[in-house]
Amino acid sequence: MNSISVFAGKELLDLRRNKVMWVLTASLAIAVLISVVVASLDFRTQMAAYDLYVNQLKASGSTVIPAAPQLFPLQMLRGGFEYIEIIGALFAVVVGYGTIARERFRGTMHLILSRDIGRVSFAGGKLLGIGVFWAVIVGAIVAVAAVSVSVVGTASLTGGDAFRLLIAGSVSWVYLMFWSAVAAGLTALMRRPSSALILALGLWLFVVLIVPQIGDTMDPDNQVPGGLFKALAIQKSDEVAVLAHFSTFESARNALEVTSVSKLFERIAFAFVGIKDKYNQQGFAFIWYAMSRYTWSILAMTVSATVFSLVASTRTNLLRKAS
Amino acid sequence: MTSFAISTHGLTHRYGTKVALKPLNLDVATGEIFGLLGHNGAGKTTTVSLLTTLLRPTGGTATVAGHDIVADARGARSKIGYLPENVQFYDDLTLAENLRFFAKLSGIPKPDARIAEVLGFLDFEGHDHERVGAFSKGMRQRVGIAQAILHRPPVLFLDEPTSGLDPEGVRTLRQSVVRLNAEWGTTIFMNTHLLAEVTRTCTSIGIVRQGELVHHDSLAATLGEYPTEQALESAYFDTAGSAA
């Protein structure tokens, strides 16, 4: 058994026995579940209202039956993915910080680093353990969400829906790993772990809340609740024509938004799950074509964060901090 | 021809402009129990940190079990066991879980069998499923010895191993060190500021003062020169200087 897998196993044991972590992840899962349940109940209410209306029409002798409302089960997951985007990222910071800070506070570093282990075994193993942890958590949340949509929302999920959920779940894992790796790297790099936590939380605040908020505020369509163009009953083609006059502004707004890993996550997850109307019920190839650059970007960011964490946690650096 | 488990040539360390260890030339023969005496801040821990590759020397060279501590640091680490001063463990884990973790890190294929062997050697059986966080200082030091010898290293470094122990703990630890040397042939490098510790345990003595090795001889030769405890103590204080 190589030292990376030993550290990964130890990390999983620590996370499994950490009651605070259980409370945090359980609260995330519950928040996701509640959002899905609320959306599912809304879905059920709308369908019930439609059925009642149709029955009343039939009872009055009408033969003209209106089309059923366009309701899409996966759109119920909007709140769930928003929780992962905001609260999940926050928990990922705590997990990443904790994995390095625990060892530094315990004073076990010298015992570990006096052994014949590779240069990046320590951080590599820790990140591998965290990766398995997030895979289990995201898997559980996605499974709970899918069951909730089916049971509470009484909506049947197709194989295609399951595949889209799987992709959105995978992107969630990549996103959470980004935050854990950044926090772990900062905690290894800085002399005081508490300073690293403050810096990581500041980064979270800026990337998860401030940048997307600026982007949303700059979006002309967000100036009126429900959408400016919808409120003015402007057709999509006209909307595109109007926005063409503001292409530079729109490019600047887009460039700002895609600097945020959270916004990238949101765009990809919302597209594949069909929360964004533009991509709802579209083919996989269409969505992939539109999202590929964002997907590569979020992957590159997470790989960079992982490399940063590995470099920051080299034996030499950890020893410098431990002495 | 004598083989040396530890050999240093001009080994030096500076913290910025402060010289923590002046050029150290020291040979510790295989199978010896070497005691490095000195007051707090004399450079003992710096010496052990350099030899265990936890610090990188700013000058000179050294080999441990034939491995250069800079050019072949991993090779050196594979041959050493280390008990730091104020050793810390995973207090939420049991003794067996702690030792299993360190055994796996050392690449031991059947950790449980080795753990049982080591705990038996240290007369420390029956505590496997107790949390280390509940252990006394003396018990923790024995866990520290256990984790350090799990992979049967030819060279063992102990940094102030009896610090904070009660007399019973000191005696138990001393017996373990002597048995390790006698039965496993382990070369032991021990830091201490307690003169009595060295005279009862070691086969050779070094005294370090303000980062400089000022005395190095066998215990027999040293005791021949200073036959009474008072004479040895006076010599120690003369050589090591007044305490910091």
Which DSSP category does B41 fall into?
T
With contacts defined as CB-CB under 8 Å, which chain A residues touch B88?
106-108, 111
How far apart CA A22 and CA B69 sit, in angstroms, is 43
Helix, strand, or coil (residue A230): helix
Least Cα separation, residue B164 to chain A (angstroms)? 18
**Token pair 């990809």 in the structure block, residue:** A268
Helix, strand, or coil (residue B23): strand
Q: Are B84 and A93 in contact (CB under 8 A)?
A: no
Nearest to A178 by CA among A291, A265, A99: A265
Nearest to A97 by CA among A214, A194, A217: A194
Q: Give the CB-side neighbour count of residue A67, counting CA atoms within 13 A.
A: 3
Domain region containing A111: 2-319
Per-residue pLDDT 10s for chain B (244 aa) are 568 999 999 999 998 889 999 999 999 999 999 999 888 888 999 999 999 999 999 999 999 999 999 999 999 999 999 999 888 899 999 999 999 999 999 989 889 999 999 999 888 888 989 999 999 988 999 999 999 999 999 999 999 988 888 888 888 888 999 999 999 999 999 998 888 888 889 999 998 888 999 889 998 888 888 777 677 777 777 776 654 4
pLDDT for residue B240: 66
In A, minimum Cα distance to B56 occurs at A316
Inform me whether the C-beta atom of residue B106 falls under 8 Å from chain A C-beta atoms.
Answer: yes
Phi-psi region of B41 (alpha: psi -120 to 50; beta: other; left: phi over 0): left
Helix, strand, or coil (residue B109): coil
Cross-chain Cβ contact B84/A111 below 8 Å: yes
Q: Which two tokens stand for residue B217?
A: 């001889």
Least Cα separation, residue B76 to chain A (angstroms)? 8
Identity of the residue in B55, B84, B104 whose CB atom sits nearest the CB atom of A1 = B104
Q: Which two tokens stand for residue B35?
A: 């005691």
Residues B95-132: tens digit of each pLDDT: 999 999 999 999 898 899 999 999 998 888 889 899 99
Domain total of chain A: 1
Sign of torsion, CA A58 A63 A64 A67? positive
With contacts defined as CB-CB under 8 Å, which chain A residues touch B107?
1, 3, 116
Q: What angle do CA B128, B130, B132 make, to 5 degrees?
A: 100
With contacts defined as CB-CB under 8 Å, which chain B residues touch A126?
none
Helix, strand, or coil (residue B10): strand
Identity of the residue in A9, A106, A114 whose CB atom sits nearest the CB atom of B52 = A114
- Residue A4, judged by CB atoms within 10 A of its CB (0-12, 13-18, 19+), counts as buried
How far apart CA A261 and CA B33 sit, in angstroms, is 58
Q: Are A7 and A125 in contact (CB under 8 A)?
A: yes
Which DSSP category does A72 fall into?
-
Q: Are B75 and A117 in contact (CB under 8 A)?
A: no
- pLDDT averaged per 10 residues in sequence order, chain A, 323 residues: 89 90 86 82 82 88 77 81 93 94 86 88 95 94 84 78 92 98 95 93 95 85 76 82 84 88 94 87 89 96 96 82 61
Enter the pTM of the model.
Answer: 0.86
Taking CB atoms and an 8 Å cut-off, how many pairs form between chains A and B? 58
Interface with B, mutate which of A1, A15, A114, A121 (most B CBs under 10 A):
A114
Q: What angle do CA B206, B207, B209 make, to 5 degrees?
A: 145
Q: Are A67 and A15 in contact (CB under 8 A)?
A: no
ipTM value for the complex: 0.85
pLDDT for residue B241: 67
Interface with B, mutate which of A10, A21, A111, A121 (most B CBs under 10 A):
A111
Residues A204-254: tens digit of each pLDDT: 999 999 998 888 888 877 777 777 887 888 887 888 888 888 888 888 888
What is the number of H-type helices and E-type strands within chain B? Answer: 9, 10
Interface with A, mutate which of B15, B18, B105 (most A CBs under 10 A):
B105
Q: Are B21 and B210 in contact (CB under 8 A)?
A: no
pLDDT for residue B244: 42
For residue A27, count other CB atoms closer than 10 A to its CB. Answer: 13
Q: Are A74 and A164 in contact (CB under 8 A)?
A: yes
Inform me whether the C-beta atom of residue A111 falls under 8 Å from chain B C-beta atoms.
Answer: yes
How far apart CA B28 and CA A201 sit, in angstroms, is 51
Helix, strand, or coil (residue A323): coil
Q: Are B235 and B209 in contact (CB under 8 A)?
A: no
